[in-house]
Amino acid sequence: MNVLYTADATVEGEGRTGKGSTSDDRLNVDLSVPKGLGGDDGPGTNPEQLFAVGYAACFHGALKKVAREAKASVENSTVNANVSLGREEDGMALAVELTVNLPGKDQAEAQKLVDAAHQACPYSRATRGNIDVTVTAVTS
């Protein structure tokens, strides 16, 4: 791999209730445990929220790239990511639901763009075959 960028982040403290930051100091977050995982839903964020924002941003970038290549407009598009953490027989697992809103597109064109973005997105490539990812195109 020809590395183009590397993010460098550190978590200190108690893991899910610690502090996280990047080496360039652009991101500094307190971490907390959601009530659904036995925590107090404190003022911090959690790894699933951070992953959801990262995946949605990456997918949106991939969508814009494939749209440019197809000479299609994805103006006013949004990507919503729901990241779920759950228990399986052999341990904890993640699942992701991406909802891609492409206003003004017909469903067939929207689905074609979303499918192409899912193939191109580095997060989708990294998770493929490892976690359940559902991608839905909506046009309203």
Same domain for 74 and 19:
no
The pLDDT value recorded for residue 140 is 85
Domain limits at 130? 47-138
Token couple for 124 = 């989708």
Q: What is the block-wise mean pLDDT of the chain (140 residues), using blocks of 10 residues?
A: 96 93 97 93 94 98 98 97 96 97 96 98 97 96
Task: Read off the CATH number of the domain in which 74 is found.
Answer: 3.30.300.20
Same domain for 115 and 70:
yes
Same domain for 19 and 33:
yes
The pLDDT value recorded for residue 41 is 87
Task: Read off the CATH number of the domain in which 11 is found.
Answer: 2.20.25.10
Separation in Å, CA 39 to CA 12, 50, 77, 80, 96: 18, 17, 34, 25, 22
Q: How many domains does the chain have?
A: 2
Angle between helices 107-120 and 47-69 (to 10 degrees): 110
